[in-house]
Homo-oligomer: A and B are copies of this chain.
Amino acid sequence: MSHSSFYEPRSKVTVVGSGNWGSVAAKLIASNTVRLSSFDDEVRMWVFEEKLPSGEKLTDVINRTNENVKYLPGIKLGKNVVADPDVESAEGISLVKGMEVKKEGPCMISTLISKTLGINCSVLMGANIANEIALEKFSEATVGYSKNKEAAEKWVQLFGTPYFIVSAVQDVEGVEMCGTLKNIVAIAAGFVDGMEMGNNTKAAIMRIGLKEMIKFSKMLFPSVKDSTFFESCGVADLITTCLGGRNRKVADAYAKNQGKRSFDQLEAELLNGQKLQGVLTAKEVYEVLSDRGWVEQFPLFSTVHAISIGRLPPSAIVELGDSRSANKQVGNSTL
């Protein structure tokens, strides 16, 4: 929100980023600013300028057609959305899922934004497949905030629609960790799918993954709350990601090929060069676990990493039962 004081009437909203999800966010928000008197109708969407094959600038086309023809074609954004290359802010919210997990702990995107811009930064996460929300299919999201409850309530007002239900929780770290760690669990779920072990096993693996997500988040940030994982950012996003999603898909293919083709090969074939978040996150999380002597407490996270680098076969994902030995195997190796 780009006003010098957040609580002044008629705050102006700028969406920073204009990809698939950023454009949907602008559409959601624009439908609300026109009916909420505390916001200026106009929503600025910051667009990284590029030239289209036609020779026109992307911002010009968006402003002429009211569609992001490149990243969200066929969807009207709302006439009050204006593409713009400038940013200024006072109160921020990050919609970026995923963050770097370094040895010192995770590098939270919201913290980065907060420090870089010198502003408060909340996050919005949840079971959010941008294209489904663009088509106004029912779904939910969670706003995580740290201190400013009133700002969080404004975000809820701004994003919420009858088909997009938003709730706020005071747990920015918990909400943001969910968005990252779920990808490790999706890799595990993909292995189970690839081995055709059935829904029973898949549900068990998802549950164990959820428990490790909670435990890891709480060990890094003692303020993280269990209840956050019952929100959309927790269990619902986990389910969506383990049912569809590219992490699950590539891990499925990996297990079907019995590990004979590497993740790198499969990524290149199946994802048009996009990188798999889950494999990277598993590696980064493993480094934290290893560094802090926590490996044995996280058999699923550790095993996903060991499988993804070819140290263990995909079938190891369902041998967590004998977790002591499984952990040992991972713990003693030089992963």
Chain A contacts to B: CB under 8 angstroms: 127-129, 132-133, 137-140, 161-165, 197-208, 210-211, 214, 226-227, 229-232, 235-240, 243-244, 318-322
Contacts and interface: CB of A to CB of B under 8 A. Distances in A.
A138 B316 CA distance: 11
A204 B243 CA distance: 13
A263 B164 CA distance: 30
A197 B162 CA distance: 15
Work out how many copies of this chain go into the complex: 2
B137 A198 contact: yes
Contact of A203 (B161, B230, B239, B319): B239
20 contacts: A127-B207, A129-B198, A132-B198, A132-B199, A132-B201, A137-B198, A137-B318, A138-B197, A139-B204, A161-B321, A163-B318, A163-B321, A164-B321, A165-B204, A199-B244, A200-B240, A204-B236, A206-B239, A207-B232, A226-B227
Contact of A321 (B162, B203, B244, B322): B162
A210 B203 CA distance: 15
A120 B279 CA distance: 47
Given A206-B236, A210-B230, A235-B207, A200 B139 contact: yes
A229 B206 CA distance: 13
Given A200-B132, A201-B132, A318 B138 contact: yes
Nearest to A317: B138
A140 B237 CA distance: 22
A200 B322 CA distance: 34
Contacts of A244: 199
Which interface residue of A132, A236, A244 has the most chain B CB atoms within 10 A?
Answer: A236
Contacts of A226: 226-227, 230
A238 B210 CA distance: 14
Contacts of A128: 200
Contacts of A200: 127-129, 132-133, 137, 139, 240
A243 B127 contact: no
Given A206-B239, A207-B231, 7 more contacts: A127-B203, A137-B197, A199-B240, A203-B237, A206-B236, A210-B235, A243-B243
A308 to B, nearest CB: 19
Nearest to A321: B162
Nearest to A126: B204
A112 to B, nearest CB: 27
A236 B203 contact: yes
A322 B162 contact: yes
A230 B211 contact: yes
Contacts of A210: 230, 235
Contacts of A198: 129, 132, 137
A319 B231 CA distance: 18
Contacts of A140: 204, 207-208
Contacts of A205: 138
A174 B238 CA distance: 23
A230 B201 contact: no
A240 B231 CA distance: 19
